[in-house]
Amino acid sequence: MTPEELKYLESHEWVYVEDKDGQQVATVGISAFAVEQLNDIVHMELPSVGDSVTAGEEFGEVESVKAVSSMYSPVSGEILEVHSELPNQLESLSDDPYVKGWIMKVSVASLSDQLMDFAAYKKQCEQSH
């Protein structure tokens, strides 16, 4: 997965949707830009397998030495898998937020209509500096 293949929310979450056994499955994480802005991440609160998430609504929190930030889901659906080791390996977010730093996998009911492609997301990040 490369940043160019993903879709993004304005709030810096990314999503990658693939077909698995005839079902759309979304992998969700936070962008390298978000990790960089947060700086020293010290804690992450993750949802549970079986929970439902709704596009645009909060699904967890990420805490840095600077602030606590909510994470928002780019998809609606049921959580199939959670990267349960991530809170114990927060350096994965800095090392590789797009492969090692994934947060959850969701069975897609629908996608947010607020998703941007990489070019639009990159432009947003440049403008917010």
For residue 66, the model assigns a pLDDT of 85
Tens-digit pLDDT profile for residues 96-119: 999 999 999 999 999 999 999 999
Coil vs helix vs strand at 98: coil
DSSP conformation class of 116: B
Check whether 49 has a pLDDT greater than 90: yes
> Is the separation of the CB atoms in 56 and 70 below 8 Å?
no
CA 101 to chain CA centroid, Å, is 9
Instruction: Give the C-alpha separation, 43 to 46, whole Å.
Output: 10
Domain 3-111: give its CATH code: 2.40.50.100
